[in-house]
Structure 1
Amino acid sequence: MINNNSFFSIFKRAALVFTSALLVAQTNIQCKLKHNASAAHHPTQAENYKKGLKDYYKNYFPIGVAVNMAALKGADSALIVHEFNSVTPENDMKMGPIHPKENEYNWKNADAIVDFAVKHHIKIRGHNLLWHNQAPGWMFKNADGSEVSKEVLLKRLKDHITTVVNHYKGKIYAWDVVNEAIDDDSTKFMRNSMWYKICGDDFIPKAFEYAHAADPKAALYYNDYNSEHPAKREHIYKLLKSLVDAKVPITGVGMQGHWKLNDPTPELLRKALDEYSSLGLKIQITELDITIRMPRSRPANLNTQANAANANLLPVPDAGFTPELEQKQAAQYKMVFDIFRQYKNVITGVTFWNLSDKYSWLDSRGGGLAGGAAAGQTSSRTVRKAYPLLFDENLQRKKAYWSVVNF
């Protein structure tokens, strides 16, 4: 027979055992929850590789890449499909390649890029409708070789823009309409191109009007480099404000983003984003790459374009892509993308200029004296690798890639 004291003693011990078991179970559950939460923030390497840049930035803006025909096959094309949700033809839609003669259009390469993008449900940016570089000579000449009048040139421009935009209507969501019309010389305003010499600055609003008439749904951008540098920034702002005030159908500004390890600073980048967006315009980073090559010092007697070109041919030792340069590049990419995300309400796309370090237009520029200049077709200069992109020569993700997606 169990007396009352024994009963209560047994009950007390049972209660203590039950309480201890409950505490252990709760601790195990909490540990498991913490582990799961931690795993959610730190996915495995295999899980990381399932995601592309477009997936990391799906709540921010499209991530694009400039492509050429060689990129549409093999491992390059697979990487494009996995990582990007926007493409820009690097050269094949520019006026010279696509419209080499007055009554001749060369659609083959541009159509192949558009078809590739449509097949893989990738957005397409058109680049570009008007530029001083890669413009065919016939555009500015009469049959007898004399210079055309303003009226003739604007008529030819209208025909070109209308034909090209209509050809891709419904497939291309945004166009770089006018490219690099502002002079690099801070004492000047407009670049003294053939467009400007013949038409004054009227060719700029006209180009936007022609593009809008051809496709009212397309977003239309003015595109330029060094757009964050104070003097040029103010000139670009002046141009954009004049277009906005005149109610020209312009959507936004393309900041090319041909940058370096120490340029731009966060302050310069923020200032440019603030100024352009204050006009009610959207912003796209259109040609992003960050070279590891610092510009060389300009010789004191370097006064002409010819001398500048010759200086760029001088051999310069190539130290390669060192761990120190790799770290600096990753830090600069992290800085600019940290800022991009903060401006997601005005930035509507970020496009890298080329896919990987296997090929970059910068490789033939030798580090450059001019810095940031336009991404045209490269010359036959000696290749000096710039290593400016997120993927290495073997299409593998670089440290800079992880600095962009780990946020």
Structure 2
Amino acid sequence: MKRYISIWVFVFFTVFALNAQSLCGVFAKKYAIGAAVSSWMLKNPAIDSLLRLHFSSLTPDNEMKPEVTEPQEGVFHWKGADEIVAFAQQNHMKVRGHCLVWHQQTPAWFFEDHGKTASKKVLYEHMKEHIFAEVGRYKGKVYAWDVVNEAVADEGANIYRESPWYKIAGKDYIAQAFRYAHEADPHAILFYNDYNVFMPAKRTKIYAMLKELLKEGVPVQGIGIQGHWSFYQPTEKELKETLQLFASLGLQIQITEMDVSAYHWENNERNMKSGEQIEWNDSIANVQAARYAMFFHVFNEFSKVITGVTFWGVTDNTSWLNNFPVRGRKNYPLLFDAQYREKPAFHAVINSQRQ
């Protein structure tokens, strides 16, 4: 009982807090501030309160992905996505759709035809049916879609990831997905979304792909840069160079999945034991705050082309990074801690706009 009383006390004081401390209020004239959520989070009164106060955009983190929305051909599950969209509408928030075409979290039936590998024609039929069903359902409610997610290879000379989509249809599946999404909702803003975009080799590939798509008249209108960053990467120089490069294409830019890990991604951390972890303290909190401050100073420099920044989660205790790449290892990547309190990083982000 005491726990629930404490949560409601938190909610009461948060709801009536000064709007000057609202993230989305502070950045309202620059870009939307979003959060990725699951429908179950909306039932937590503390998270509900944080969302209403601080965010002007929501992204379903998993509940619009193909394995959830259409686990079997023609069998649709919309409940979670519907709840998130309804919450957003009730609170005058935008919704970003994530994601339509991806090599992960996509059921095997997409790539099959009566037990055999699907032909390109059948694959496109599956793609079209799914995109028309999902985009059509949320037409006028979802303002932007991550149409294709992570299609570019991390390593090697080949631009494209050797995904099931690519193995059947080649690179053409990317353009086809954008065409179907545009046909399903001509007013939606359509994004290509990827991670490690700041790395020179990968961003060069993504740039070449997008430039070719635009030359062909494919209706791609933005690039989503996943902000799964850390205390170590990217540098300010890398981030600025990346934003300048994609701004030159005339595309909208959104930071779509922002969190700042306390761990270095390149230190073989997939092999670390869950107990081998950083213990949160004031010094680490200040390092994170400085990183967030740098990122947002750069975003503000590019506010003419950046139209949204979405955090991948709301509070540290619900972050996906507590289970990836090391399951059970605590991470502290967001602006609010496990007790729903503002961290130094929150104030660093707020102050980046005021300076």
The two structures share one fold, judged by TM-score above 0.5: yes
Whether 1:403 and 2:342 are equivalent positions in the alignment is no
Paired amino acid for 1:342: E
Listed one character per residue, the Cα deviations across residues 20-42 of structure 1 (whole Å, up to 9, x for unaligned) are xxxxxxxxxxxxxxxxxxxxxxx
Post-superposition offset of 1:86:
0.1
> Which aligned segments of 4 or more residues in structure 1 are displaced greater than 6 angstroms?
none
Partner of 2:3: none
- Choose the corresponding residue for 1:52, options 7, 13, 22: 22
Post-superposition offset of 1:247:
1.0
- Choose the corresponding residue for 2:338, options 387, 393, 401: 393
1:287–1:351 CA contact under 8 A, matched in 2: yes
Partner of 1:174: 144
Post-superposition offset of 1:404:
0.4
Percent identical: 44
Listed one character per residue, the Cα deviations across residues 374-400 of structure 1 (whole Å, up to 9, x for unaligned) are xxxxxxx3x111100000001110000
- Choose the corresponding residue for 1:264, options 199, 209, 234: 234
Whether 1:150 and 2:120 are equivalent positions in the alignment is yes
Gaps of 5+ in 1: 1-45, 299-307, 368-380
Whether 1:160 and 2:105 are equivalent positions in the alignment is no
2:94–2:143 CA contact under 8 A, matched in 1: yes
Whole-Å Cα distance in 1 between the matches of residues 282 and 65 of structure 2?
37
Whole-Å Cα distance in 1 between the matches of residues 325 and 119 of structure 2?
39
Whole-Å Cα distance in 2 between the matches of residues 282 and 49 of structure 1?
28
Whole-Å Cα distance in 1 between the matches of residues 156 and 234 of structure 2?
18
Partner of 1:100: 71
- Choose the corresponding residue for 1:140, options 94, 111, 115: 111
The structure-2 alpha-carbon separation of the partners of 1:109 and 1:65, relative to structure 1 and needing over 3 Å to count, comes to same
Whether 1:323 and 2:294 are equivalent positions in the alignment is no
- Choose the corresponding residue for 1:82, options 50, 53, 57: 53
- Choose the corresponding residue for 1:234, options 204, 229, 234: 204
**What TM-score, normalized to structure 1?**
0.80
1:312–1:365 CA contact under 8 A, matched in 2: no
1:186–1:231 CA contact under 8 A, matched in 2: no
Paired amino acid for 2:76: Y
2:113–2:122 CA contact under 8 A, matched in 1: no
Whole-Å Cα distance in 2 between the matches of residues 353 and 197 of structure 1?
30
Partner of 1:342: 301
Partner of 2:259: 289
**What TM-score, normalized to structure 2?**
0.92
1:52–1:83 CA contact under 8 A, matched in 2: yes
Paired amino acid for 1:98: T
Post-superposition offset of 1:187:
2.9
Whole-Å Cα distance in 1 between the matches of residues 336 and 272 of structure 2?
27
Post-superposition offset of 1:64:
0.1
Whether 1:280 and 2:239 are equivalent positions in the alignment is no
Post-superposition offset of 1:164:
0.6
Whole-Å Cα distance in 1 between the matches of residues 277 and 19 of structure 2?
32
